[in-house]
Structure 1
């Protein structure tokens, strides 16, 4: 006799969504309101970076000092919400807890950092006269870590929930290979937010580099170069194009599909499809180490290939099932 299973405790999707969105908007509004409210008591530009000695050694225009933290927060909060509220991911308490920890820690740290930065510039005639931020920064770090921990504990309430039933996907017929023809499957996916963020970082790095050369800022020249290079890396990881064919797998990065990585067919053991989210693999971009890595552009369907050497590579890409079916058909033909 089968005993009926007790219903699972419902995950508080509505409450989690309302609190997370309200928190995101509150932090964003605070980041904008603080500089506007204190604009007449702040120098322009304002000190934005402090060296090991505790003295300010870099500056930003007042508008940029408000826009940069806001942009960072919006990207981080949007990513955390998108990953946590996916239909498949949300029922897992661990996923909700990670997203809540990011939102709690990031919000308190971003607002706290702006408060102590503006406070150091308050009523100063020049940004060079700003006071140090060492002790207050320690307090902000401790408070943000505590906020992240408390948010994670609160988000775990309700435990794991059973996701709503989904219709069975249609069975995809096996791909038949016609003799004399060269089958190729091509698919791509992009993340507009990452692309925009990369462009902003690259442009900011170039402007910072030019400002240093022109004597407008005291930041080292290397800071602008590193920021510009980091922006180019983000741009490269904002788009991925995958091609499967008799030669194996080709993975092109960036809008120009370069640089590219190739995996010969004789190195592949088999291919399949998995559902993964950025929180499952530790974020966006190239995650993991060579031999067992994930190229995460957006959560959801991923093409996974297993190497004959034992490693694995997962790529978030559209229509991954067709790519996996073609690779397996090619492998079956090559190794009957």
Structure 2
């Protein structure tokens, strides 16, 4: 692993934060300045949704439209920049490139969506008379992908520190007179803040809508609530190993929870995995080969006797793997130590 005091890495981190912050500020300024510049030429509410026919079939108050995009961008940009700036992600080219691609894609999507929404509503008098959207849909899909590709290319510049060599299967000696237990919980501050911001915004919009000052605010309450609940679900993961089983629990309520009997486990080890490698955060993959990704870095990997695998991003994974292997060896003495 690279020295955290390496001047080249420190200098690159500074440059990255300056560039990412500049992009975040630029997108945020455009999301606020453009609708305000055309406010006197836009209806209130605005057409914000178009049906399969290409005609507008849904609306949102002007203030809610601006606020929703800005809040979403602040959350996405803050989390994306913070996650990518972590040393473990920043010094590796592939996860850094994909993180930059995601940040660029999100900014491009919001800018393009806002641009077409404003253009369709401009000088229309009422949202029901907004221009239809047809070929613009293809641009809304393709343009953010182009932004993401540019972000991916930009993220490839910089240091690329390889992962360390594979570790041997960890083992510990068990005291036959004691019942061993290992518990580890990992939290994701970014997910916690995502949940807090999204739920707070949902409550604020709901209160404003109930007061009658923002009647269309309800259209943003549901998606913000969904984002908040998802953030809570991704805020923590807890793993417990006892002689009978391995239990994985998700979220602050430790639900949902999954228990795997020890006789179904073949062995365990530790790997470094990152969201960009497994397709993002949360439960990634398919049953039999999945990753529970809360934060990038050290993961406990369990191989089932059926051949499937489960990886969990959790702290002190080496101790958990060592205890699992020792329990398996005690239960099945023929297992190679």
Question: Which of the five TM-score ranges fits, normalised by the shorter chain?
Answer: 0.7 to 0.9
1:188 match: 185
- CA distance, structure 2, for counterparts of residue 231 and residue 89 of structure 1: 25
1:47 match: 47
2:318 match: 321
Structure 2 counterparts to residues 1-336 of structure 1, below 5 A: 13-157=13-157, 161-162=160-161, 175-198=172-195, 200=198, 232-336=229-333
Give the CA RMSD over aligned residues.
3.8
Contact 1:251 1:261 in 2 (8 A): yes
Paired residues, what number? 316
Contact 1:237 1:297 in 2 (8 A): yes
- CA distance, structure 1, for counterparts of residue 18 and residue 93 of structure 2: 17
Tell me by how many angstroms 1:175 deviates: 4.0
Contact 1:268 1:307 in 2 (8 A): yes
- CA distance, structure 2, for counterparts of residue 231 and residue 164 of structure 1: 34
Structure 1 unaligned regions, length at least 5: 1-8, 166-172
Structure 2 unaligned regions, length at least 5: 1-7, 165-169, 210-214
Contact 1:83 1:277 in 2 (8 A): no
Q: Tell me the alpha carbon deviations over residues 63-105 of structure 1, each in whole angstroms, 9 at most, x when there is no partner.
A: 3212322333334334443444333333443333322322332
- CA distance, structure 1, for counterparts of residue 146 and residue 99 of structure 2: 15
2:167 match: none
- CA distance, structure 1, for counterparts of residue 223 and residue 17 of structure 2: 37
Contact 1:202 1:232 in 2 (8 A): no
Contact 2:191 2:231 in 1 (8 A): yes
1:170 match: none
TM-score by length of 1: 0.78
Rate the CA distance shift 1:191–1:66 in 2: closer, same or farther, 3 A: farther
Contact 1:116 1:137 in 2 (8 A): no
Contact 1:202 1:230 in 2 (8 A): no
- CA distance, structure 1, for counterparts of residue 227 and residue 73 of structure 2: 18
Q: Tell me the alpha carbon deviations over residues 245-287 of structure 1, each in whole angstroms, 9 at most, x when there is no partner.
A: 1121111122111121111111111122222211111100000
Tell me by how many angstroms 1:47 deviates: 2.0
Tell me by how many angstroms 1:230 deviates: 7.0
Contact 1:83 1:279 in 2 (8 A): no
**Stretch of structure 1 that moved more, 253-262 or 236-245:** 236-245
**Stretch of structure 1 that moved more, 251-260 or 281-290:** 251-260
Rate the CA distance shift 1:192–1:66 in 2: closer, same or farther, 3 A: farther
Secondary structure of 2:88's match?
A: coil
Q: Tell me the alpha carbon deviations over residues 289-319 of structure 1, each in whole angstroms, 9 at most, x when there is no partner.
A: 1111000011122111111111111111122
- CA distance, structure 1, for counterparts of residue 223 and residue 62 of structure 2: 23
Rate the CA distance shift 1:154–1:228 in 2: closer, same or farther, 3 A: closer
- CA distance, structure 2, for counterparts of residue 237 and residue 100 of structure 1: 21
Secondary structure of 1:246's match?
A: coil
